[in-house]
Amino acid sequence: MTKMQHSRPISGASQASGSKEVIKIRGWVERLGHELDEMMKRVSALVRQESPTSHSDAVNAARETVAKWAEELGARVTRHARGGSRGVLEARFGTPKDERRPVLLLGHLDTVWPVGMLARMPWRVADGWAYGPGVLDMKAGVVMALTAMKLVREVDTDRPVVLLLSGDEETGSHDSRELIEEVAKECRAAFVLEPAQGPQGAYKTARKGVGQFRLEIRGVPSHSGVDFGAGHSAVRELAWQIEQISALTDLDRGTTLNVGVVGGGTQSNVVAAEAWADIDLRVTTVAEAEMITRRLQALETRDAQCTLRLAGGLNRPPMERTEGTAKLFAHAKALAAQLGFALEEAATGGGSDGNFTSALGVPTLDGMGAIGVGAHAENESIRIDSLPSRTALLAAMIATTV
């Protein structure tokens, strides 16, 4: 292709008719079919490089592997110290002088699995599926992004694309959020490499918001045998509070509160002085999050001698289905049809870094990574034969989003 063609927008399915520059994206699927072994080698390498959020050296080692791949493709790579000890990887493709706003490819390198988990759930391929810790969430997605960029650069070397991979997504992106938001603000659209939804691989156009709270209770301790009446049990108070909190769940509105972890007390013969609970909140709108937060703050003790303290709040705002996101999805659906498959959209209760970009008003499509099952579960796996078409679609989306 000539230089002149490089600098022109390339037609996608939605404006394809009559243009001689229509990308032969069907060719991309076939081509990636031939390169599938190469892709799977990379997925395998990354899965074997265990990278739990809590282990910054391990996350940074995985980051280095991906940084080298990006540099081979001509990206300008920054290994950020920002984003905490598990710093963010930023790989910029394209020519700085190109004035098109970049597309953001957003993902993460950390997994929920501790180092050593490979012994229990080893990398293996069987019946067209590949298994291993983090393979679906989201090491395959990271490899898909780099493979897609290889295709995109062949037709449009100048196109600005930022690949941003954090190292603390699985614990809420507390350290990387600021950088993600800063980069997202300059971008035309955000494509999130999280796993697709369901066996058909739907893209995610809406996600619930996620709140994280801790309720701490102080009671009055006493000896349960000698002086039971003087005690005011924080554990008993907690049991009552759990019911009050759970009663705020409203499934019709998509609002759920899960008291997922509790603790308290010291010994069975001591009336407990302290107890606590970690609460996960899911909501579909910011207004709902604010209402629930107020109600949690207004909780009152049943035992007047106990005291409550609530910490936390909304961590990820809901990713609402905006007009910009709907347009992106329509475009993706048309491209998928050209590739020969039907693309569905879905809403999910899970949060991702896409919640941050969407809340900033950046059109965001999520679930653009691999198809599989068992994210965060021991049967975590991807469907290998879905990689060529999914990656071709990702590449076509990057190449045609203007």
Q: What radius of gyration, in Å, describes the C-alpha atoms of the chain? A: 24
Minimal distance in Å, beta carbon 278 to Zn ion?
Answer: 20
Minimal distance in Å, beta carbon 394 to Zn ion?
Answer: 16
> Which one of 15-23, 51-59, 121-129, 130-138 is the stretch in contact with Zn ion (CB under 5 A)?
130-138
Q: Which is nearer to Zn ion, 112 or 179 (CB)?
A: 112
Residue 191, φ and ψ in degrees, nearest 5: -110, 120
Report helix, strand or coil for 238: helix
Q: Which is nearer to Zn ion, 90 or 194 (CB)?
A: 194
Minimal distance in Å, beta carbon 299 to Zn ion?
Answer: 32
> Which one of 71-79, 132-140, 178-186, 213-221 is the stretch in contact with Zn ion (CB under 5 A)?
132-140
Nearest to 339 by CA among 24, 19, 120: 24
> Kindly report the CA angle at 29 between 26 and 32, in degrees rounded to 5?
145
Minimal distance in Å, beta carbon 236 to Zn ion?
Answer: 38
Q: Does residue 110 bind Zn ion (CB under 5 A)? A: no
Q: Which is nearer to Zn ion, 241 or 357 (CB)?
A: 357
Contact indicator for 308, 241 with CB cutoff of 8 Å: yes
Q: Pick from 50, 90, 110, 137: which binds Zn ion (CB under 5 A)?
A: 137
Q: Which is nearer to Zn ion, 138 or 393 (CB)?
A: 138
Minimal distance in Å, beta carbon 108 to Zn ion?
Answer: 6
d(CA 211, CA 257) in angstroms, rounded, equals 9
Minimal distance in Å, beta carbon 133 to Zn ion?
Answer: 13
- Could you tell me how far CA 379 lies from the centroid of its own chain? 19
145: Cα within 13 Å, side-chain hemisphere: 35
Label residue 36 left, alpha or beta by phi (over 0 means left) and psi (-120 to 50 means alpha): alpha
Residues that bind Zn ion (rule: CB under 5 A) add up to a total of: 3
d(CA 194, CA 109) in angstroms, rounded, equals 11
Binders in 147-186 for Zn ion, by CB under 5 A:
none
- Amino acid, res. 115: V
What residue number has its CB nearest to Zn ion? 137
Binders in 229-248 for Zn ion, by CB under 5 A:
none
Minimal distance in Å, beta carbon 169 to Zn ion?
Answer: 6
> Which one of 56-64, 71-79, 131-139, 314-322 is the stretch in contact with Zn ion (CB under 5 A)?
131-139
Q: Pick from 39, 88, 138, 152: which binds Zn ion (CB under 5 A)?
A: 138
> Which one of 2-10, 129-137, 181-189, 357-365 is the stretch in contact with Zn ion (CB under 5 A)?
129-137
Contact indicator for 284, 208 with CB cutoff of 8 Å: yes
Q: Which is nearer to Zn ion, 264 or 350 (CB)?
A: 350
Nearest to 206 by CA among 331, 297, 326: 326
Nearest to 248 by CA among 308, 309, 295: 295
Minimal distance in Å, beta carbon 107 to Zn ion?
Answer: 8
Residue in the structure block whose two tokens are 């955000």: 190
Nearest to 279 by CA among 244, 307, 254, 305: 244
Give the x-and-dash track for 179-218 against Zn ion (CB under 5 A).
---------------x------------------------
Contact indicator for 361, 47 with CB cutoff of 8 Å: no
Minimal distance in Å, beta carbon 176 to Zn ion?
Answer: 13
Q: Which residues of this protein are in contact with Zn ion, per CB under 5 A?
A: 137-138, 194
